[in-house]
């Protein structure tokens, strides 16, 4: 073959080869454009789905839409460099670890919940629940207060009942000497006579052994006071006992509010009275003895017997026709003998004034003999102290 033929043949072969290459290149270009078009469509579909999901704002439990959803613009699709073209128009995607994690993150991604809207939606329910809880606590607290008040009231009532029962059961331990004496009104039409002359002798040292009733075993009785000597004599005057009385209600033997109150505060437990006359019944005398808690109370009563005290009052005479102790002139002397108070009251039977005669003074000395039993109690107490 000549060189010209060989060149022509080579040229034709080259042209054929170049044409074949060009056709392969065109096919490759065509496939690449198809793949790009497919990626664009797929990316558009994914972007459309993502945009649709974002436009559908997540709804809360109360039915309200979140304020964040549906406002963001969809992102432009980007070509995934990991995708490779394949024959037959199919695409094979090579997923990497980053793409896998990104896909999972997108699947887990949720629109954030609006806490403000949630609180606003549940505020009414929460307020109602809080008010209900407060009301229940208040009812329980009031119930506790009421129950506590009832328990306290029952406790106080029970304590008062126990005290009352204790006073009744152990009443012997709370003697009348530890309580104020009762006060009674004098009889109607009683005498309101006060002595024209009155003297009071305070507590003497020799009587200190009986300054308090506690520890004194002596009792005021008619037998103990008046049975020894029914007749007494002193200063040339002889007197005979004509009437006696002993009572545990001291205020029944006096008149005058302040005097009765003082006897009550002095815890007077007994009062004894004895009435005396001379043989010719020209004179009358009355001996009265009060049993008080202590010498201080006896002195207080002696002060109230004084006609010069702020409130009038004095001893009542025994019942009977004793004109000299009910009306007219009389004299009296009070003597504190330890916790006892002795009152000696004398007068003429007719109530006349003795004038310059000292007969009433002698009579007053004579009636002091009626207190001899008390002086004997003093001597016995002094002997025990020695």
- Residues 325, 359 within the same domain: yes
- Residues 46, 80 within the same domain: yes
pLDDT of residue 333: 97
Does the residue 95 lie in any domain?
A: yes
Q: Give this prediction's pTM.
A: 0.56
Residue 33 corresponds to which tokens in the numbers above?
């454009």
Query: Helices then strands (H, E): number in the chain?
Result: 8, 11
Give the contacts of 272 (CB within 8 A, at least 6 positions apart): 220, 222, 225, 226, 244, 245, 246, 247, 288, 289
> 10 Å Cβ neighbour count for 329?
18
Does the residue 113 lie in any domain?
A: no
pLDDT of residue 71: 46
- Residues 139, 215 within the same domain: no
From 75, 108, 141, the end of a domain falls on 108
Does the residue 254 lie in any domain?
A: yes
Does the residue 197 lie in any domain?
A: yes
pLDDT of residue 91: 45
Instruction: Give the relative orientation of helices 295-305 and 257-265 as an angle to the nearest 10 degrees.
Output: 180
- Residues 280, 312 within the same domain: yes
- Residues 82, 204 within the same domain: no
- Residues 152, 83 within the same domain: no
pLDDT of residue 320: 81
Does the residue 349 lie in any domain?
A: yes
How does 89-125 read in b/e, with b if 16+ C-beta sit within 10 Å?
A: eeeeeeeeeeeeeeeeeeeeeebeebeeeeeeeeeee
Domain interval for residue 146? 118-174
From 108, 132, 147, the end of a domain falls on 108
- Residues 188, 164 within the same domain: no
Q: What is the mean pLDDT of each run of 10 residues along the chain (386 residues)?
A: 48 71 72 56 49 47 45 49 45 45 46 46 58 61 57 68 58 50 85 94 92 86 83 87 95 96 96 95 96 96 94 93 90 96 96 90 93 93 83
- As for how many domains the chain has, the answer is 3
- Residues 134, 204 within the same domain: no
- Residues 71, 208 within the same domain: no
Does the residue 370 lie in any domain?
A: yes
pLDDT of residue 167: 56
What is the sign of the dihedral through the CA atoms of 291, 294, 297 and 298? positive
- Residues 139, 104 within the same domain: no
CB 329 within 8 A of CB 353: yes
pLDDT of residue 269: 95
- Residues 77, 194 within the same domain: no
Does the residue 374 lie in any domain?
A: yes
- Residues 224, 322 within the same domain: yes
From 108, 139, 155, the end of a domain falls on 108
Does the residue 277 lie in any domain?
A: yes
How does 352-371 read in b/e, with b if 16+ C-beta sit within 10 Å?
A: eebeeeebbebbbebbbbbb
Give the contacts of 15 (CB within 8 A, at least 6 positions apart): none
pLDDT of residue 242: 93
Residues in the chain: 386
């Amino acid at each position: 073959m000549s060189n010209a033929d060989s060149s022509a043949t080579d040229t034709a072969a080259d042209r054929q080869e170049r044409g074949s290459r060009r056709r392969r290149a065109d096919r490759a270009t065509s496939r690449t454009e198809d793949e790009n078009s497919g990626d664009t469509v797929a990316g558009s579909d994914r972007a459309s789905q993502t945009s649709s999901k974002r436009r559908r704002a997540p709804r809360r439990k109360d039915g309200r839409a979140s304020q964040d959803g549906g406002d963001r613009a969809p992102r432009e699709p980007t070509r995934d460099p990991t995708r490779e073209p394949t024959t037959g128009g199919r695409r094979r995607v090579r997923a990497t670890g980053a793409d896998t994690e990104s896909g999972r993150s997108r699947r887990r991604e949720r629109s954030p919940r609006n806490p403000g809207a949630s609180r606003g939606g549940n505020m009414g329910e929460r307020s109602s629940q809080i008010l209900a809880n407060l009301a229940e606590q208040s009812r329980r607290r009031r119930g506790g207060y009421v129950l506590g008040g009832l328990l306290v009231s029952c406790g106080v009532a029970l304590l008062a009942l126990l005290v009352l029962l204790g006073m009744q059961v152990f009443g012997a331990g709370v003697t009348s000497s530890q309580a104020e004496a009762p006060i009674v009104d004098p009889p109607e039409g009683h005498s309101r006579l006060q002595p024209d002359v009155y003297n009071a002798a305070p507590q003497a040292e020799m009587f200190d052994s009986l300054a308090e009733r506690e520890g004194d075993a002596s009792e005021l009785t008619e037998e103990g006071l008046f049975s020894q000597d029914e007749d007494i004599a002193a200063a040339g005057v002889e007197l005979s006992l004509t009437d006696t009385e002993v009572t545990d209600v001291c205020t029944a033997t006096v008149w005058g509010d302040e005097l009765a109150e003082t006897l009550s505060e002095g815890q007077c437990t007994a009062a004894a009275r004895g009435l005396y006359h001379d043989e010719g019944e020209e004179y009358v005398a009355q001996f009265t003895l009060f049993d008080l808690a202590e010498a201080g109370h006896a002195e207080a009563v002696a002060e109230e017997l004084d006609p010069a005290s702020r409130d009038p009052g004095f001893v009542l005479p025994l019942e009977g026709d004793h004109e000299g102790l009910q009306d007219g002139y009389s004299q009296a002397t009070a003597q504190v003998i330890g916790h006892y108070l002795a009152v000696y009251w004398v007068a003429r039977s007719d109530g006349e004034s003795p004038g310059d005669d000292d007969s009433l003074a002698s009579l007053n000395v004579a009636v002091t003999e009626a207190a001899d039993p008390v002086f004997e109690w003093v001597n016995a107490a002094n002997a025990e102290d020695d």
